[in-house]
Amino acid sequence: MSISYDDRVAVVTGAGSGLGRSHAKVLASKGVKVVVNDLGGNVAGEGGSSRAADDVVEEIIQAGGEAVANYDSVASQEGGQNIIQTAVDNFGSVDILINNAGNVRDKSFAKMDLDNFTALMDVHLMGAVYCTKAAWPLMLEKQFGRVVMTSSSAGLFGSHGHTNYASAKLSLVGFMHALIQEGSRKNVLVNSIAPMALTRMTEEVMSPKLAPMMQPEFVSAMVAFLCADECDLSGQIVECGMGYFSKVQIVEGAGVFLGNGDVPSPEDVQANWDAISDMSEAKPYRHAGQVSRAVFHKMKAEGLLPQ
């Protein structure tokens, strides 16, 4: 078992603090050349300073690694292109993209200004889309790419006061699921993490008692693994932090046909809810086509396919 990065170039967005800083430093310590992107704003994504990215670049260089800074916001197509172009201009290419930049603007949905909803979609979802769009053709052409989306348990499972954040975070999983269909055959692999770490974003909700084990480095081990030359995983979602690692998966139950070929009634649905929601034989699917095929097979087996 070994982990290697053969002359690889990584872009880590939002790498001026917290998790991104840790991912950038861990990758650089393994010999990966890193673009440290960060606009240097506050936790809501407002304001900006080149200091955040510059400081991390300085730390990497001091430790003997190679890194350059980029200060663009991920939340525009031009920003995404500039970020990837920084990798190309300085290191000749891009092999690894960690879509990590993020902000929070928490409020109950009743009180949320919709500008704060779209602002989060712009950074978390569209930021990842813009950066991936710019890196994707380069990765397909060289037949090597490792992309990591930063999702969240708030999106996977829900969280009060986070409708904007949860929507953006789960949409990244949908983006990943569709992308893996287009990248896998060219060794361009896409995975997602749902991290748990004590950073400026979470310091108000995390217990300080857990601080020693909540360091971002506990998460970066998974990110670095997912980006290694040897890693052939794609489409994984992994909850990680504090030394805890667990795969998360979307599964579908065995299901049931109602109405015997006729249109089922709402009363049929009510009467059969236990069977509809039975997850005892639940399984995952690799893509949407597999779900349709499984349903057709079941129809055939039950003699329900129209002749």
Footprint on this chain of ligand NAI (rule: CB under 6 A): 13-14, 16-20, 37-41, 43, 45, 52, 73-75, 100-103, 123, 127, 150, 152, 195-197, 199-202
Question: What is the nearest approach in angstroms of ligand NAI to the Cβ of residue 154?
Answer: 7
- Shortest distance (Å) from residue 84 CB to ligand NAI: 13
Closer by beta carbon to ligand NAI, 135 or else 196: 196
Selection from 148, 108, 105, 114 nearest residue 128 by Cα: 148
Nearest to 215 by CA among 232, 240, 194, 191: 240
| Cβ–Cβ under 8 Å, residues 138 and 80 | no
Q: Please identify, using beta-carbon distances, which residue of 74 and 144 lies nearer to ligand NAI.
A: 74
How many whole angstroms separate alpha carbon 44 and alpha carbon 160?
Answer: 18
Q: How far is the CB of 116 from ligand NAI (least distance, A)?
A: 13
Look up 244 and say whether it is catalytic: no
Q: Which is nearer to ligand NAI, 50 or 184 (CB)?
A: 50
Q: Are 28 and 34 in contact (CB under 8 A)?
A: yes
Residue 82's alpha-carbon distances to 19, 33, 41, 289, in angstroms, are 22, 17, 18, 36
Contact 281, 254 (CB under 8 A): yes
In whole angstroms, the minimum distance from the beta carbon of 63 to ligand NAI comes to: 19
Q: Output 144 or 168, the one with its CB closest to ligand NAI.
A: 168
Nearer to ligand NAI, 197 or 224 (CB): 197
From the CB of residue 75, how many other CB atoms can be counted at a distance below 10 Å? Answer: 21
Report in angstroms how near the CB of residue 66 gets to ligand NAI at its nearest: 21
Rg of the chain over CA atoms, in angstroms?
21
Of the listed 71, 165, 244, 285, which one is catalytic?
165
Distance between CA atoms of residues 173 and 249, nearest Å? 11
Residues taking part in catalysis: 165
